[in-house]
Structure 1
Amino acid sequence: MAEQGRWHDMNGNSQLPFICHENQLILIKQNLTWREALRYCKDNHVDLVSVHSEEIQLWVKEVAQNASTEHVWLGLRHTCTLSFWFWMSGVSICYENWAPGNGTGGEDCSPVERTGAVQARGGQQWVSLPEDHKLNFICLTYEG
């Protein structure tokens, strides 16, 4: 960051300090629809969790096993118009952990949109569910 408080590009060989936030996940044991859970996380924390690595998946597994519902909402959504899944955080889906028969892209889009959840127990893989189901959810928060 420049002295004026603005970001700028630098040579990739430069040795500089870095900014790091310790990611924290919090299980919310309220049964909300996916949209309600997203709003809750944005209003009270940062966002619904995005799982973009195996390391984050392991953290999600640890948190999800304490849920009071069979599945737990993630920040994962399907667009029927374009027929693909995406994280609400804007992170690309590179890492995947779908349960068999889920996340194929050919989702049933009627009458409601499909959203992603993780199994609270068992294989703790991702599943596609209608957004109007009421589940526990995991928010991403930052320890300040």
Structure 2
Amino acid sequence: MERNSTQSETLTQLYSALKDERDQLLTNYNSLTAERDELQTNYNSLTAERDQLQTNYNTLTAERDQLLRKLGQFSRPQGWTNFSSSSYYISKEKKTWSESRQYCRDKGADLVIINNEEEQTFLQNFGHTWIGLTDSENEGTWKWVDGTTLTTGYWSFKQPDNWYNEDCAAIQPKDGTLQSWNDRFCSDRIQWVCEKPAAVSIS
């Protein structure tokens, strides 16, 4: 009888221990489940926030691009072409040198001043045009419209020749050479090129 009682107590203790272990495991399981659910909620929240931020970014980018396009249209009126740091207007009609310059000044620009070989090469693409260079004030002293004296020129062979008082310079392109300037009568009517600073770009 005593032996049976001892076995019964042992089984009871084992059962109680297993029950306690099960309860502890269940508690741990519930705790881990709750932690997992909280992490999932946080993940979902962060994902939604990220998606909203991406949407806002896309919207702002589209608005910025639209504003930049409008700015470009405003700062570079129709008919003007950008090259390097300047904006150029190449006329379709023909005027005298003085009329051409006045047209440019009315547009907030002036006849083009050619500063380097790259600009000369670019402008040769537009045919016979007035440039902002004249020696009308002092024969033989060529000055740009901003008052600076010419230092580097791209004159054609034997030009300028001051033939019967030709005092205004024009580009008269010739294939395969940068030397295409010629002095002409300021009263001649040809096309012209205006120049003004290009609008500052926004990146």
Q: TM (normalized to structure 1)? A: 0.68
Unpaired runs of at least 5, structure 1: 1-20, 66-70
Corresponding residue to 1:130 among 146, 161, 185:
185
Distance (Å, rounded) in 1 between the aligned partners of 2:93 and 2:190: 7
Structure 2: how far apart are the matches of 1:92 and 1:81? Answer: 11
CA distance in 2, matches of 1:37, 1:84: 21
Equivalent residue for 2:134?
77
Higher relative contact order (CA 8 A, sep 6+): 1
Work out whether 1:58 is the aligned partner of 2:115: no
Structure whose residues are more often strand by fraction: 1
Q: Distance in 2 between the 1:36 and 1:96 partners?
A: 23
Query: Any idea what the Cα deviations from partners look like across 1:80-134, whole Å, max 9, x if unmatched?
Result: 6443111112233122100112125xx2455xx5100001453460000000100
Q: Which has the larger radius of gyration?
A: 2
CA displacement at 1:33 relative to structure 2: 0.4
* Larger fraction in helix: 2
Cα separation, partners in 2 of 1:109 and 1:88, compared to 1, 3 Å: farther
Contact 1:116 1:128 in 2 (8 A): yes
Equivalent residues of 1:52, 1:93 under 8 A apart: no
Aligned pair 1:114/2:167, yes or no?
yes
For 2:96 and 2:181, the matched residues in 1 are separated by 17
Calculate the TM-score normalised by the size of structure 2: 0.50
Aligned partner (choices 87, 93, 98) of residue 144 of structure 2: 87
Cα distance in 2 for residues equivalent to 1:116 and 1:55: 19
What amino acid sits opposite 1:116 in the alignment? Answer: A
Q: CA deviation at 1:55?
A: 1.9
CA distance in 2, matches of 1:84, 1:132: 19
Amino acid at match of 1:119: Q
Question: CA contact under 8 A between 2:109 and 2:194: conserved in structure 1?
Answer: yes
Q: How much has 1:79 moved relative to structure 2?
A: 3.0
Query: Alignment identity in percent?
Result: 23
- Partners in 2 of 1:40 and 1:86 — Cα distance? 19
Superposed displacement of residue 136, structure 1: 0.5
Do the aligned residues in 2 keep the contact of 1:48 with 1:138 (CA within 8 Å)? yes
Greater shift in the superposed pair: 83-92 or 32-41: 83-92
